[in-house]
Structure 1
Amino acid sequence: MLSLSHFNRRTIKGDIFGALTSTIVALPFALAFGVTSGAGASAGIYCAIITGLFASLFGGTNQQISGPNTGLTVAMAAILTSFVAQSPEHGIAAAFTVVSLAGIFQILFGFFKLGKYFTLVSYPVISGFTSGIGILIILSQLEPLFGATLTQLPISFSIFDSTNTLVGLACILILFIWPQKYRHIVPASIIAVIGATLFYVFSGVQIPVVGAISGDLPSLNLPIWDNALAGEMVKSALLIATLSTLDSLMTSLTVDTISNDFHDSDQELVGQGIGNFVAGLFGALPGGGATMRTITNLRAGGTTPLSGILHALFILAIVLWAGEYTAYIPVAVLAAILTHVGISIIDWNFLKRIHKIPRFSVVLMISVMLMSVAFDLVTAVLIGVFIDNLVTIRRLSEIQLDNIKLFTAKDAVYLPDEEKRLFESLDESVLLLHITGPIGFGVARGLKQCVSTADQDKTLLIDLSDARFVGITSTIAIEEIIVGYQNEGKQIILSNVGDRVRKDFNKIKLLDKISTDHVFTTRIAALNYLKQQSAS
């Protein structure tokens, strides 16, 4: 979040240069994302201005540059198309209300400190998600480039003769072959835009162009609520909030790696949420942290939130004074830029090593990628995370089951000599259930099975000396074991119930189920008690 300490002579020069450089990179992308969304170029431009400004003012990552990006654009295009089809009168207004609602959700995510949880997504899910977005963005640019959708392409190629297509393909070629050593001086996207624009101006050919952006500031539009779209609005807002959050926090983590700094995830969500809330009010696309533009800002010298604020103001100045010149920019060059982005964000590194990666990770990545294309992004991510968590829980449960051991006297070799002698003197009349480490809900069934297969005629001593955490499900399983033994008239003893485990037990009043003289602070005290009982 911006403070007075950010205004100092040591950093302001770098912030200005970082803002200028990132503005050059951001402009063609803002135009391209706006056009692709169906809301118009100005929606992308003002997204960069509004979210860039407010995320820098109130966010938690010093060098973050926010604006429209691929996943959010794909999602917003689908939302606009769906809402207009369902409600021609209110569809567009409802779609931008969704953007503001998404901002509110993000603010709530930050307020309830949920930021840390959004980064707990496995790499195969993120890889499939981003690769799916890449495929979607490529598919969305087929019509601007070739004048045909995917199913129409075979017919289109049979009658291929389009200057627009040639311009687009030439721009894609430029984007791929522009030398890397010059990219930090002049980005390839700027070269493509300038080249395509000059071709349009001097050749006299008639191809689709972006159109002029009005120099007037966008008008404020109050949110509307359409009952017919209520369910879709909430679902869509959660999708936008989630995508923006993931993009922003992933970018923040990238910044931390490069700058050796540490961002505030929850504050970042508040800043991004405020930006998206305001963006929706002015008919702008939703935005999030833009990794490439942020890294450009960082490497050009930007070190404080001032660079993001200046970035937004520089774009605003260009729009107000030179917005009319976008009328000469061919749509094909923007389609080429986004096609290049789509190809670039597909996780080729993962796909190249697919034969070396565990089968589950491969299947998970490809499944999320295909679901992103076939269904929608939020469904793909939710199903991917759900499946991944189930498998992770199963694997953790298998590890945790190793922390549960049932011993007889001859097996308990880990005991200290004095305790081992006491245990052996009980003549195999006692079973020792030793629980170590954290015990989650996934091992509750295994815990009960471990005891149920043992000799039920023996006394059971449950030793919790090394148990650090016992979840509610496992606590209930232990309660069922205690009640089962008591119903059979058998004796059950507890030892080493630490403070952390006692809190878990007290949640369901488990210790009320067992006599206090059967609960011991140490294992040796419990064994001495059993020795005295056997002697009497």
Structure 2
Amino acid sequence: MLSLSHFNRQTIKGDIFGALTSTIVALPFALAFGVTSGAGASAGIYCAIITGLFASLFGGTNQQISGPNTGLTVAMVAILTSFVAQSPENGIAMAFTVVSLAGLFQMLFGFFKLGKYFILVTYPVISGFTSGIGVLIILSQIEPLFGRSLAELQVSLATLTSTNTLLGLACILVLFLWPQKYSRVVPASIIAVIGATIFYIFAGVDMPVVGAIASELPSFNMPIWDNALAGEMIKSALLIATLSTLDSLMTSLTVDSISNDLHDSDQELVGQGIGNIVAGLFGALPGGGATMRTVTNLRAGGTTPLSGILHALFILAIVLWAGEYTAYIPVAVLAAILTHVGISIIDWNFLKRIHQVPLFSVGLMISTMFMSVAFDLVTAVLIGVFIANLVTIRRISEIQLDNIKLCTAKDAEHMSTPEKQLLASMDDSVILLNISGPIGFGVARGLKQSVSQSDHSKALLIDLSDARFVGITSTIAIEEIIVSYLNEGRDILLSSVCERVRNDFNKLKLLDKIPKEHIFATRIDALNYLKQKLSK
């Protein structure tokens, strides 16, 4: 969050250069995303201004540049189309109400400290998700490039030689072939936009153009709520909030790795949320952290939130004094820019190594990418994360099961010599169940299986000397073992229950189910008790 400490002579120069450079990079993308969304170029431009300003003022990443991006634009296309189809009169207003609602959800994510959980997504899911977005953005640019929708498209010589298509393909070549060393001075997207605009002005050909942006501030839009569509509005808002959160926090992690700084994830979500609330109220697209623009700002010298604020103000100045000139920018060049973005964000590095990656990870990546294209982005991520977590839990459970051992004197290597001697002296009458490490819910079944296969004619000592956490499911499993032994009239004892585990046991009143004289502070106390009892 911006504070007075961010203003000093040492950083202001770098912030100005960072803001100018990132503005040059951001302008073509803001126009392209706005046009593609269906809300108009101004919706993309004002997204860059509003979210860039408020995310810098209230966010938790010093060098973050926020604005429209690929995933959010793809989602917004679907949301606008859906709400306009269901309510022609109020559909657009409801779509922007969804943007503000998404911002509110993001703020709640931050207030409830959920930021750290959004970045715990396995790489194959992120890879499939971003690659799916890449495919979607490419598909969305077919009509602007070729003048026909995907369903109507039949590639022929006539299609490929239309002026609009040739210009778009030429711009794509420029974007791919422009030398990287020159991009640091003048980005390829700026070269493409300037070249296409000059061609349009002097060639005198008829082709779709962006249209002028009104040189005035956007008007306030009163939010509209429709109870009949409440479920869809909430679902759409959660989609926007999730995508913006993922984009922003992933960009924040990138900044941390470059600047050796540490961002505040929850504060970042609050800042992005405020930006999206205001963006929805003024008819702008939803925004999030923009990695390429943020890195550009960082490399050019931006070090504080002031760079993001200046970035927003520079774009505003351009719109207010030069908005009319967007009337000469061909739509084809913006389609080319987004096609280039779509191709670039597909995870080609993962796909090239697909034969070296475990089959499960390949399947998870491909299925997430397919679901992103065929269904929707949230469904793809939720299913991908669910499957990945199930497999992770199974693997962790297998490791944790190694921490549960039924011991006799022969294999009790972790015990002291006196304990081993005590256990050996009554080996025919006592089994030691040693539980160590954190025990989650995934091992409950294995825990009960281990005990059920043991000799119930012997006393059972459950030793928790090395256990620091026992989940609720495993606690219930231990409770069932205790009740089973007591019902059979067999002796069962507990030893070395640490304070944290004891508190968890007390919540279920587990310790009330076992005689107090069978609960011991240490393992050797329990073994001495059993020795004395057997001697009698």
TM-score by length of 2: 0.99
The residue type equivalent to 1:502 in the other structure is R
CA gap of 1:64–1:159, structure 2 versus 1, over 3 A, is: closer
Q: Is the CA contact (8 Å cut-off) linking 2:404 and 2:434 kept in structure 1? A: yes
Equivalences for residues 254-265 of structure 1 within 5 A: 254-265=254-265
**Letter matched to residue 390 of structure 1:** L
User: Which amino acid is 2:148 matched to?
Assistant: A
Percent of pairs with identical residues? 83
In structure 2, relative to structure 1, the CA distance for the partners of 1:413 and 1:261 (3 Å cut) is closer
| Structure 1 letter corresponding to 2:444 | A
SS of the residue aligned with 1:150? coil
Partner deviation per Cα, 1:291-310 (whole Å, 9 max, x = no partner): 00000000000000000000
Contact 2:49–2:67 (Cα < 8 Å) also in 1: yes
CA-to-aligned-CA distance 1:406-459 (integer Å, 9 cap, x gap): 112333233211111100111410000000100000000110010001111110
Unpaired runs of at least 5, structure 1: none
Could you tell me which residue of structure 1 aligns to residue 458 of structure 2?
458
Normalised to the residue count of structure 1, the TM-score between the two structures is: 0.99
**Paired residues for 1:217-228 under 5 Å:** 217-228=217-228
- Aligned with 1:185: secondary structure? coil
Q: Which amino acid aligns with 1:403?
A: N
Deviations 1:261-287 (A, max 9, x none): 000000000000000000000000000
CA deviation map 1:67-110 (0-9, x unaligned): 00000000000000011011101110000000000000000000
**In 2: Cα distance, 1:132 partner to 1:156 partner:** 27
**What corresponds to 1:323 in structure 2?**
323
Equivalent position of 2:27 in the other structure: 27
- Report what 2:293 is aligned to: 293
Task: String of CA shifts for 1:330-371, please: whole Å, max 9, x gaps.
Answer: 000000000000000000000000000011000000000000
Conservation of the 8 A alpha-carbon contact between 1:33 and 1:68 = yes
Aligned to 2:136: 136
Match of 1:253 in 2: 253
Q: Is the 8 A contact 1:90 1:226 kept in 2?
A: no
Once the two structures are TM-superposed, the CA of residue 151 in structure 1 deviates from its matched residue by 2.7
For residues 255-404 of structure 1, the aligned pairs below 5 Å read: 255-404=255-404
SS at match of 1:154: coil
Q: Aligned runs of 1:67-146 on 2, under 5 Å?
A: 67-146=67-146
1:517 counterpart residue number = 517
Using the alignment, how far apart are the partners of 1:286 and 1:157 within structure 2?
39
CA distance in 1, matches of 2:178, 2:49: 28
Instruction: Extract unaligned runs of 5+ from structure 2.
Output: none
Aligned length: 536
Partner of 1:49: 49
Distance 2:160 2:412 in 1: 80
CA 1:427–1:324 in structure 2 vs 1: closer, same or farther (change >3 Å)?
closer
- Give the whole-Å Cα distance in 1 for the aligned partners of 2:407 and 2:268: 52
Q: 1:80 is aligned with what amino acid?
A: L
Aligned AA (2:315):
I
* Letter matched to residue 267 of structure 1: Q
* Cα RMSD after superposing both structures: 0.9
Judge which range, 453-462 or 412-421, deviates more: 412-421
- CA shift for structure 1 position 157: 5.4
Contact preservation (8 Å) 1:405, 1:435: yes
Confirm or deny that 1:416 pairs with 2:438.
no
Could you report, residue by residue, the CA deviation over 1:178-217 in whole angstroms, capped at 9, with x for unpaired residues? 0011000000000000000000000001110000000121
Deviations 1:115-147 (A, max 9, x none): 000000000000000000000000000000011
Q: Displacement of 1:510 after TM fit? A: 0.7
User: Is the contact between residue 368 and residue 380 of structure 1 (CA under 8 Å) also seen in structure 2?
Assistant: yes
Query: What CA distance in whole angstroms lies between the structure 2 residues aligned with 1:140 and 1:185?
Result: 30
Q: Is the 8 A contact 2:160 2:166 kept in 1?
A: no
Q: Distance in 2 between matches of 1:286 and 1:331?
A: 21
Question: What whole-Å deviation, never above 9, does each CA across 1:439-482 have from its counterpart, x for those lacking one?
Answer: 00000011001000111111000000000100000001000000
Matches of residues 104-253 of structure 1 in structure 2 within 5 Å?
104-154=104-154, 159-253=159-253
Q: Specify the SS of the correspondent of 2:433.
A: strand
Deviations 1:44-75 (A, max 9, x none): 00000000000000000000000000000000
Q: Partner letter of residue 85 of structure 1?
A: A
Q: Distance in 2 between the 1:184 and 1:313 partners?
A: 22
Aligned partner of 1:499 in structure 2 is 499
**2: distance between equivalents of 1:123 and 1:505?**
37
Contact 1:409 1:428 in 2 (8 A): no
Q: Alpha-carbon deviation of 1:506? A: 1.1
Contact 2:159 2:165 in 1 (8 A): no
Shift of 1:159: 4.9
Contact 1:408-1:428 at 8 Å conserved across structures: no
Match of 1:474 in 2: 474
**Cα offset, 1:155, TM superposition:** 5.5
Mean CA deviation greater in 495-504 or 305-314: 495-504
Taking the aligned partners of 2:157 and 2:488, their CA distance within structure 1 comes to 81
Report the counterpart of residue 60 of structure 2 in structure 1.
Answer: 60
Structure 1 pair 235–406 and aligned structure 2 pair: CA distance change class (3 A)? same
CA distances 1:11-32 after superposition (whole Å, capped 9, x unpaired) = 0000000000000000000000
Once residues 273 and 341 of structure 2 are traced to their aligned partners in structure 1, the CA distance between those partners, rounded to angstroms, is 25
| C-alpha contact 1:193 1:333 (8 A) present in aligned 2 | yes
Describe the SS at the equivalent of 1:138: helix
Partner AA of 1:137 in structure 2:
I
Give me the whole-angstrom Cα distance separating, in 2, the residues matched to 1:350 and 1:441.
33
Question: Which residue pairs with 1:12 in the alignment?
Answer: 12
SS in 1 for 2:215: coil
**Counterpart-to-counterpart distance in 2, 1:153 and 1:337:** 20
Q: Counterparts of 2:517 and 2:292 in 1: how far apart (Å)?
A: 66
Q: 3-state DSSP class of the match of 2:462?
A: strand
CA contact (8 A) 1:35 1:210 kept: yes
